[in-house]
Amino acid sequence: MSATGVETLSWSFGLINSAGFYLTAESFGNRINCNGTSLKKKQIFFLEQNPDGKVFLRTPTGKYLSTSAAGAFTGDGEDRGANQGFEIEAQPDGRWALKGAHGYYAGGSGENLTAFTKVIAEDRLWTVHLAMHPQVNVRNINRKTYVHLDGDVLNTDELIPWGEDATITLVFLQGKYGLQASNGKYLSASGALKDNADPDARFIIEFFSAQIAFKATNNLYLTALGAKGTLKATKERIGLDELFVLEDSHPQIKAVAVNGRRVSVRAGQELSANQDDVTDAEFFQLEVDTKTKLWSIRSHKNLLWTIGEDGAVSASAKSRDANTQFKIDFLGDKIAFQAANGKYVATKKNGALAATAASNAGADTQYVWEIINRPTLILRGEYGFLGTLPSGVIEVNKSTPEEYSMHITKGVAYISGSNGKYWKVNGDNITVNGTEPTPFFIELTDLSKLVIKHQGKYLQGFQNGGLKASGERVDASTQWEY
């Protein structure tokens, strides 16, 4: 767990064989094969690791990959027993050889999957395609600080990943990965940022339990150098400065009160709507409790909103407790915060915030809000990523992500594509061909999930790829991982 209380991401990925097909777990009979042509639900496996380094690969059906002394390679293991253990042997090109419990390598093609050879042949090698959402925060193990865009380099010196510059996108590039900064440029081995992910800007990921290292084409590892921790590939061996963890990138917002001024902690710990310009002191990070769906709200000083006996709201708590939990009501372009005392946060005439209002009906309890760290939007639903067809129609079952741009003005979201056109509700479809921006409203629902509303309906995805403004409620079909 990080200093901000954020859990590191668990590893989920697809395994691509030498013929270019994904390992697939069928629900019928828990059979496995290598017939998958893209990364979807049946092709996503989960890595579980013991302290001794032995790993277990959980299938999408909840079983475990297994090998037998007779050379079988199956997907029907009930638990983490002796036959379910594997050793991962990473190759120089980044591919994995999976050595089973009996010393044989697992591999094959089509329906013919086996673990009977002690020689690493081409058909025993697997390309790893990470399945988690590609937009992450990256924390260095040694420095305990985060990577962010700083001018024309990536530095590792932020105690909290603050603002859009700390969002890094991992781009899958034929078995290797590009580290894309918030300005759209790719990190290269020399530390320079490039417009395109050429070979010098592609890295092999090596796994060490919950930690990873990035190996460049010069066979050196990415490290954090100097006082600011500038990222460059200069190290032959892996130490703590070469190890990183990936974390979910939580939403960060700014909020404008009824007096037209921004909520801030610039003057100290007390929250007050008293600023006209924007600094880090006017940004706040929203962190959801996945069980209660209540929110903790963190300031740039790494302190949480909390309420005092009189309802006064300050960013002064160092850890979570009952008084740091808020219910957030999403009201179109505005939000309201209900505190642990059952009262809503309201703005006093002097700008101070206090949880004293009985409801969210008053203008003094409503805050115009904007997400500030998602100018680039990648969305994934239960059937895959959102992507645009040549016709301009958006589909929701793509195996690779597409980047859209989201600009939120006074609580209203406008989303556009790489063609410069806006998202448009077009009959039974959502298309990327609007010449004028269509207003959408965002609601945050869970860890890294949101819904998008248009004229009272939620954007809803369907298994056939369709995307419509037809959803009546928040469920799996209307929630989008972002």
Per-residue pLDDT tens digits for 371-387? 999 888 999 998 889 99
User: Does residue 145 carry a pLDDT above 50?
Assistant: yes
Give yes or no: residues 65 and 144 share one domain: no
Find the angle CA(429)-CA(392)-CA(472) to the nearest 5 degrees.
20
Per-residue pLDDT tens digits for 300-332? 999 999 999 899 999 999 999 999 999 999 999
How far is Cα of residue 122 from the mean position of the Cα atoms in its chain?
Answer: 32
Give yes or no: residues 235 and 293 share one domain: no
Domain end (from 248, 278, 308): 248
2 falls within a domain: no
Give yes or no: residues 37 and 111 share one domain: yes
Per-residue pLDDT tens digits for 418-453? 999 999 999 899 999 999 999 999 999 998 999 999
Task: Please count the CA atoms within 13 angstroms of the CA of 176 that sit on its side-chain side.
Answer: 20
239 falls within a domain: yes
The per-residue pLDDT of the chain, averaged, comes to 94
Domain end (from 337, 371, 405): 371
Give yes or no: residues 212 and 264 share one domain: no
Average pLDDT over residues 286-312: 96
Give yes or no: residues 227 and 203 share one domain: yes
pLDDT value for 196: 96
Give yes or no: residues 381 and 474 share one domain: yes
pLDDT value for 9: 53
Given a contact cutoff of 8 angstroms between Cβ atoms, the answer to whether 467 and 396 are in contact is: yes
Task: Please count the CA atoms within 13 angstroms of the CA of 227 that sit on its side-chain side.
Answer: 0
Domain end (from 108, 130, 152): 130
β-strands 384-388, 394-398 pairing: antiparallel
Average pLDDT over residues 85-109: 92
Q: Which residues span the domain enclosing 471?
A: 376-481
Give yes or no: residues 240 and 143 share one domain: yes
The type of residue at 98 is L
263 falls within a domain: yes
Give yes or no: residues 96 and 205 share one domain: no
Give yes or no: residues 89 and 181 share one domain: no
Give yes or no: residues 240 and 341 share one domain: no
Average pLDDT over residues 109-133: 94
Give yes or no: residues 236 and 185 share one domain: yes
3 falls within a domain: no
pLDDT value for 5: 46
Q: How far apart are alpha carbons 70 and 481 in whole angstroms?
A: 42
- Total structural domains in the chain? 4
What's 118's domain CATH number? 2.80.10.50
Given a contact cutoff of 8 angstroms between Cβ atoms, the answer to whether 187 and 223 are in contact is: no
Q: How far apart are alpha carbons 382 and 220 in whole angstroms?
A: 38
385 falls within a domain: yes
Give yes or no: residues 125 and 152 share one domain: no
The residue to which tokens 């790489």 are assigned: 418
181 falls within a domain: yes
226 falls within a domain: yes
4 falls within a domain: no
β-strands 55-58, 45-49 pairing: antiparallel
**Max intra-chain CA distance, the chain:** 78
